[in-house]
Structure 1
């Protein structure tokens, strides 16, 4: 397995005792990311059903060119509580150096407490290919053609 160096930096006011992103098992594809509320309000937040919030992680990143970081929901939170990321996968580009925040949505039926230090998402590091875009008058034919949503069958 190739290891890519992702440089992390604590933001001012972040609780540096909160663990850095980490892989919880040897075969994990995603590193768990934790909520890190500013020192003045480490109590966390409450999300009502249907509500969303930008949850701070206390970190900023440096991602090597040619890679991206994707933020994805944690499956246990999604199944048990309906907690998801509405822009999943959220992409963090290699040239972004600002605060790492996670947009969290409560799609569940009950209020949900996001506590300081709680694992809220998983971070995937992925290679990126850039495309060259050219305008053409004709496109090649394919079996599917212009068929859109549902055009390949229900199952």
Structure 2
């Protein structure tokens, strides 16, 4: 299955997978000059691309592990969700959770886009749910 992609800015880069085994397509910062992300701050970056996602799928914007682990630069909303009926430019909010400023360069890979199937069942309100061994236990109820 193919998905259409549109470059919506002059200096936009087509998202690419780094290797044949890569699950995600790298999204690049479509900016004209470097942007500093100060400690504890969030900045929004255009990617210059819009996608036509096949119905039944969604796009998910995940962190690039190198930016997150090495520099503390992660998507501001943890994981971005792109619905199949959205046709606008993909924007990526990046948050600096480190204690030092970090500079994003024009064209730098800032996130990765993964396409996944989405199940959207009809929701049926109920007074009762089936019991399980775990029950309502959460937040570490099964161990550390």
How far the C-alpha of 1:103 sits from its partner, in A, is: 0.9
Structure 2 unaligned regions, length at least 5: none
Structure 1 unaligned regions, length at least 5: none
Q: Secondary structure at the match of 1:99?
A: coil
**Contact map agreement 2:76 2:93 (CA 8 A) in 1:** yes
Deviations along 1:6-48, one digit per CA (max 9) or x if unpaired, are 211122xx234x43100011101111110002xxxx1131110
Matched, 1:21 2:11: no
* 1:79-94 correspondence runs (5 A): 79-94=69-84
- Of residues 87, 90, 103, the one that matches 1:100 is 90
* 1:31-70 correspondence runs (5 A): 31-37=25-31, 42-70=32-60
Root-mean-square deviation (CA, aligned residues, Å) is: 1.1
TM-score, normalised via structure 1 length: 0.88
Distance in 1 between residues matched to 2:48 and 2:30, nearest whole Å: 5
Number of matched residues? Answer: 144
Distance in 2 between residues matched to 1:6 and 1:44, nearest whole Å: 30
TM-score, normalised via structure 2 length: 0.95
* Moved segments of 4+, more than 2 Å: none
